[in-house]
Amino acid sequence: MRALGVDALLTRRTIGTLAVVVVALGLVALVLNLALGHLPRTLVGSAVLPDYLAHWTGGRMLLDGRLDQLYDPEVQRSLQTGITGGAPEVAWFVAPPLTAVLYAPLAALPYYLSCAVWTIVSIALLAASLWLLRPLLPRLGGAGYGVVVLAVLATQPVLEVVGIGQDSALCLFLWVCGLRLLAADRDGWAGAVLALGLVKPQLFVLVPVLLVAQRRWRALATWSAGASLLLAASVLVVGPGPLWVWLELLLSDRYAHQVQSTQAWMMQGVPSFLAAITPAGATGAAQAIGVVIALVLLVAFAVAAWRAPREALLPVWALAGLTTVVTSPHLLGYDLVFALPALLSVLDRHVTARVRLSLLLIVALTWTSLVRHRVAGGLAWPWVVIAASWCTVPLLVLWGVLWRDCRSLGAADDDRATLVGQPVG
């Protein structure tokens, strides 16, 4: 039944038209949220670019020399008072000290000007990433690639990244740049670029594993050198103290409650998903089972990557990206932007009902995430499961498709074009 008749409805023209409408509505909503609000609060009651505010705060505290208080939420709140209108909540800066160094130049600007600059940068990074991805997508990257771009821009994670000022677009850009450099046999530069991903380490944690699995020793060497230089520069600028405070923060009860628990409904990894769909008394056990499943997926990924030919670039790196998403203990909905290369890759390689329906489910579930949370987030079990991030299920389906691709690559011929990105059916 051709994906329950979805294909007959979602033609290129229909997808393009819907995408234009969604992007236009998103831009109108963003403008109205600002124009109808009472600055420093927006119409919905939040600060302008609330997530960016946390990063700006880290950079501002670095410039002010308040390094001994870099992760103190009360000190951060006092700094943000003029921007949030004295709201009780704090946009808590919990990123590694290196991120404060990255945002320091932007934090030297007045907040609203800094927001405008960051928004322009984010949109430019998204556009550049999609442009760089095109040569790696033989089927999707043809004459109709404009529709693909529109469809991507109309997804909820992309619009959220721009609307709240997250840094996922930067991470996507670094990942795609590294991928393109590897495809061009410029492994040294690729390793150096991928090392910059340490600004958000949870998204780039599998990079060294993957470089080892593919025997890309030159890339591993430059990645190691780049990571060491970044760590040294971070310690030189902020000192070793904030680094230890940051590591302790990640293990603190306050972080577990304020970041992990309260945002669990937005997290995409298996451990968080299982915890969100089980009764309160079984949450610990569910998380433990989720960790075990995540470890199994990580081992399966590592074995598949090791056995795949070195030339198997896009399939293996796509699997790495999706493995990062489904196994991470802290990866929120907007970070699905990072999974775009993997999702586009699987769609490019497989024109099947399973893949198409999985992608459509991800689109539907991300767009209904906030509504489901508002409706069912405060309800008792089992109704609270409605609010969970069910995207984990179709993401696991697509992970299985990519894993089978990588398992079969050992028997593929050595033609580079085939291994880099040729569709398989």
Last residue of a domain, one of 251, 277, 308: 251
- pLDDT digit string, tens, across residues 274-294: 888 888 788 888 888 999 999
Considering the domain architecture, whether residues 187 and 84 belong to the same structural domain is answered as yes
Last residue of a domain, one of 227, 251, 275: 251
Provide the token pair at 1: 């039944």
- What whole-number distance in Å separates Cα of residue 40 and Cα of residue 46? 8
Better-scored residue on pLDDT, 328 or 13 = 328
Considering the domain architecture, whether residues 240 and 273 belong to the same structural domain is answered as no
Number of domains comprising the chain = 2
Residue 164 lies in a domain: yes
Confidence (pLDDT) at 26: 85
Confidence (pLDDT) at 264: 74
- What whole-number distance in Å separates Cα of residue 290 and Cα of residue 272? 7
Considering the domain architecture, whether residues 67 and 203 belong to the same structural domain is answered as yes
Considering the domain architecture, whether residues 311 and 243 belong to the same structural domain is answered as no
Confidence (pLDDT) at 416: 41
Q: Residue ranges of the alpha helices (H) in 89-238?
A: 97-107, 111-133, 145-153, 156-164, 168-183, 187-195, 201-204, 207-213, 217-238
Q: Which domain holds residue 279?
A: 265-425
pLDDT at 417 over 50: no
Considering the domain architecture, whether residues 131 and 71 belong to the same structural domain is answered as yes
- What whole-number distance in Å separates Cα of residue 241 and Cα of residue 71? 11
CA-closest candidate to residue 324, choices 159, 246, 190, 210 = 210
Considering the domain architecture, whether residues 77 and 207 belong to the same structural domain is answered as yes
Which of 55-69, 106-120, 175-189, 409-423 has the lowest average pLDDT?
409-423
Confidence (pLDDT) at 9: 61
Confidence (pLDDT) at 419: 46
Phi-psi region of 256 (alpha: psi -120 to 50; beta: other; left: phi over 0): alpha
SS3 label, residue 332: strand
Considering the domain architecture, whether residues 128 and 238 belong to the same structural domain is answered as yes
Q: Per DSSP, what are the bridge partners of residue 41?
A: 38, 47
- pLDDT digit string, tens, across residues 208-217: 999 999 999 9
pLDDT at 319 over 60: yes
**How large a percentage of the chain has pLDDT more than 70?**
92
Considering the domain architecture, whether residues 281 and 148 belong to the same structural domain is answered as no
Considering the domain architecture, whether residues 166 and 245 belong to the same structural domain is answered as yes
Confidence (pLDDT) at 4: 52
Residue 319 lies in a domain: yes
pLDDT at 1 over 60: no
Considering the domain architecture, whether residues 321 and 201 belong to the same structural domain is answered as no
Mean pLDDT of 221-230: 94
Confidence (pLDDT) at 412: 45
- What whole-number distance in Å separates Cα of residue 395 and Cα of residue 321? 11
pTM: 0.90
Considering the domain architecture, whether residues 243 and 283 belong to the same structural domain is answered as no
CA-closest candidate to residue 328, choices 289, 369, 286, 272 = 272
- pLDDT digit string, tens, across residues 159-181: 999 988 999 999 999 999 999 99
Residue 260 lies in a domain: no
The tokens 């946390």 sit on which residue? 54
Considering the domain architecture, whether residues 274 and 209 belong to the same structural domain is answered as no
- What whole-number distance in Å separates Cα of residue 82 and Cα of residue 128? 34
Last residue of a domain, one of 188, 221, 251: 251
Which of 35-49, 281-295, 385-399 has the lowest average pLDDT?
35-49
